[in-house]
A and B are shown apart, each in its own frame.
Chain A
Amino acid sequence: MSLTKDAGHLFRFAFLFVVAFVVFLLVRHFVVPKSFGEYGHYRGAAIGEIAARPLHYAGHETCETCHADIAEAKKAGKHENVSCEACHGPLAKHANDPSIQPVKINTTVLCIRCHAESAAKPGGFPQIDPVQHSGGVPCETCHQPHNGL
């Protein structure tokens, strides 16, 4: 068969393609992560890994297990629905190990973040001009944040 003979070099080229393709399939078999495609076109194990990231905010339910007295006091005030860490900051470490104490809050900074007067804020939300209102005297001198008035 002279056709196969004269086209022989083409078969050699095609053979290289086949070899490359087989090698590709082999490598692919070993390289693709095992959980890939478990739920869709992605690595299924990634979901668990993302769910395993560490917490920084313990959540007010956790706080209330130890600080039930404060939780009770808060129920009477306007800050009832403000959760603990919204003011006290992330305290998962403290919940983990109560010997790690949270930093003391500077009320002159904290309170005005919400309560500084601005026409951009919704009407009805209690707002004050910090300078006129207290002239720099710390808020807790008059106000009790936990049973807020």
Chain B
Amino acid sequence: MEQVIANGLYLGAQYALIALGLTLIFALMNVLNFAHGQMYVLGGFVTYSIYGQLKLPFVIALICSGVTLAIVGALMEKFLFRTVIRRSKREESTMLLAAATAFFLDAVVLLLFGEKQRGVPKIISGVFVSDRVILPYDRILVGVVAIVMIATFMLFMQYSKPGRAMRALAQDRIAAQLMGVKVERYSMIGFALGAMLAGIVGGLLVSITGVNSGIGGPISIKAFLMVMIGGAGVVGGAIAGGFILGMMESVGLTVLRAYGDITYLVIFALLMIFLSIRPHGLMGKPWG
């Protein structure tokens, strides 16, 4: 059972990190970013190219993934989402734009990096073995990095000036504007930050699970699942959703093994019941 819990905690940490960027963009702009998974994939391929192909240090590759995606996110916000939000009164316009962006990024990634699964050398070799738990050191490292990044992100949102401005935006866009918050600037920073998180987690996990051009869609769906559990637009909710999903997956795959592949069936059934009772998720309210 200890192994199952360790697996769940590790999965939860990586899931939470994936969901953070998605929920941030939703909170700031009310945009369901369907391209979140594709941003993760792009981040993974940047790290693959720099660390796996050019053989530069992993940390540099990870920074490049973050910076590349931050730029992509900022450009997307400035030239696509901002324009559509300004011109369209219908909320689904941004959803359609996000879906189109996802397909576009899918095609770009396929063209640039090909169809194959790609992986990089392990960042740390070796496996921690005890009587009850077996955990490779690289997973332990990635789990710790994920938790440190989540903590850093929360501190940034809580205490930094841009963090406070973004929280204000998420609470009430018009009030924030009246209080002197530069809405456009912080929307762009928020979108870039969300995309950067997707890129970094993609880069981080390429060392464990590799990356291929077709995984963007499923990753987006899983991220939405976590956000729905925790409550859309709430950072704490995304983290809780990530850990809950990770733990449910790990426990379900062991406990329900005898009944076939019903783990996700059970998870979805529970989610439906849960959402009918708490449609806003666990912490479903804006920040503040």
A, B co-complexed: no
Q: Which residues of B contact A (CB under 8 A)?
A: none
